Structure 1
């Protein structure tokens, strides 16, 4: 909104009114807009065919069972085969322990409450398992002796962090994992909603995530009804997640 008197004080003041412009030909053909075509929904719902890979101590544990489950074909009995070592792995779960991180305090969960988690809390899950060679063959075609007998026992720790947990609680779960890890096993961070298949498989399809915190039961109550949705492509990896009743 500068006046002409103000603009005349500057020799290089930009003035669009003095610029000679080329008149546009309205008859010119406008650029054709791209055609909008709806995407094929069938391509969006196709399950992935990629193998589930979770590496712990240099071994691919897959889904934690030694079976390479392909939900797209309902083929649940195909053993995972290591192309490098030319054999498969049989994974046996020995024990699963869940520890709730309640601030500076810890509480070991009982077996009956093992599968009940809350989105406002953090938990440490200790998985003790054994890996044995499966499908190994000798030069004569018989089962190899290396595939017989027990394998080495291993231990891994997952610290699960709820979507509504605070930064301090997330840090406490990481510190607690270090304190509990006397075996010096691998440690993995697990974020709610992005749990790997091997983590979900530990709960045998009965994992439940509730709204609120475990210590504040009054914040979890939604009246006479509760609403959950179930997710998961495989029954043993199903999970119930509570959502607001609306």
Structure 2
């Protein structure tokens, strides 16, 4: 039997009693022999002893040729000898240096290079221009366009451009500027006249965002419309995949981006809650993405938002215990 009275719920299931004298019908009862333990059994123990693996190895001797007569050649068949070989050397088992390989090994962020300049993390970040001088990335204007199945292009307003749907494709026109930074002679800090006196030229970049559930025809029409625009303006273009948004793309929306499932004009299912996961590295890169409303998607280091617009006006915010 089993006894889980010390816990708040039974790990075997919600509809199963906390204490019982008999196991459930689906519970396994397996006999395990010594030195024949399966991997599933060994993983239950933290310090399971690891034995040295050995196997027989064949060592061949070089061939010996005999030139007793010019017409005949005697070839001695190779002889092999079985010996035990330690497989630990082949497996290359060695402890991991936590400080060097894990804590100190910080992955490098992906760089977006536009017009021979790496934009760093995007809006508000300080980078270096073509001449090596410090400049700041400033966002001037953001326009979001969606292409419907009929081929019509629709520009979204200020409220709707922050919502992207997984069954649609968009292209975002981002107008930015690289501003030279001037320093104050007394304090060495950034001067407040940097933007007014050392403003650079305006630049344009088109981001083509394609949802994972969008049709191929809609993806192609969106890409063609973006190409026509950038040819006229001489702008740059980059593709953004659903679920792999880089910091530059996220900073365009200033922490107000929401990625939801379905289409924009799709009717909401009344009575069903929608689950959104909150992700952020910095406050400017915060965004929410919709997931299937299930307890399997909950993580202890993240926060989630639950909404039901057709049934209730309340919003539930769930924080993990390690956030």
TM-score normalised to structure 2 length:
0.55
* CA deviations over 1:143-179 (Å, ceiling 9, x no partner): 9x99933211111111101111122111111011023
Q: Counterparts in 2 of 1:164-179, with a 5 A limit?
A: 164-179=213-228
Deviation at 1:123, TM superposition (A): 0.4
Match of 2:256?
206
Once the two structures are overlaid, the 10-residue window that deviates more, 222-231 or 33-42, is 33-42
Instruction: Give the number of equivalent residue pairs.
Output: 206
| Counterparts in 2 of 1:120 and 1:152: CA distance versus 1, 3 Å | same
In 2, Cα distance between the equivalents of 1:208 and 1:188? 20
Alignment match, 1:32: 87
What RMSD over aligned residues (CA atoms) do the two structures have, in Å?
3.3
Change over 3 Å in CA distance of 1:229–1:81 after alignment to 2: same
1:120 equivalent among 167, 173, 176: 167
Q: Deviations over 1:38-78 (max 9, x none)?
A: 868885577836355211122222222252xxxxxxxxxxx
**In structure 2, do the counterparts of structure 1 residues 209 and 46 end up closer, same or farther at CA, with 3 Å as the change threshold?**
farther
* Mapped pair 1:190 → 2:237: no
Q: Distance in 2 between matches of 1:146 and 1:94?
A: 12
Q: Scaled by the length of structure 1, what TM-score is found? A: 0.70
Check conservation: 1:135, 1:147, Cα contact below 8 A. Answer: no
Partner Cα separation in structure 2 for residue 47 and residue 210 of structure 1: 34
Q: Does the 8 Å contact 2:278/2:289 carry over to 1? A: yes
The partner residue of 2:117 within 36, 53, 59 is 59
Aligned to 1:131: 178
1:95 lines up with 2:141 in the alignment: yes
Which ranges of structure 1 fall in alignment gaps of 5 or more residues?
Answer: 1-21, 68-78
**Deviation of 1:215 (Å):** 3.1
Say if 1:87 and 1:135, in contact at 8 Å, map to a contact too.
Answer: no
Aligned CA distance change for structure 1 residues 113 and 147 (closer, same or farther; 3 Å): closer
Considering Cα pairs closer than 8 Å and 6+ residues apart, tell me whether 1 or 2 has the greater RCO: 1
Cα distance, 1:46–1:164 mapped onto 2, change above 3 Å:
farther
| Structure 1 residue 233 corresponds to structure 2 residue 281 | yes
Q: Within 5 A, what are the aligned runs for 1:6-85?
A: 28-33=83-88, 34=91, 48=106, 50=108, 52-67=110-125, 79-81=126-128, 85=131
Residue 180 of structure 2 contacts residue 198 of structure 2 at CA under 8 Å; is this kept in 1?
no
Question: Structure 2: which 5+ residue stretches go unaligned?
Answer: 1-78, 295-323
* Distance of 1:45 and 1:194 partners within structure 2: 24
CA contact (8 A) 2:123 2:252 kept: no
Give the counterpart of 2:156 among 87, 109, 122: 109
Measured in 1, the distance between the counterparts of 2:273 and 2:152 equals 31
CA separation in 2, counterparts of 1:112 and 1:167? 27
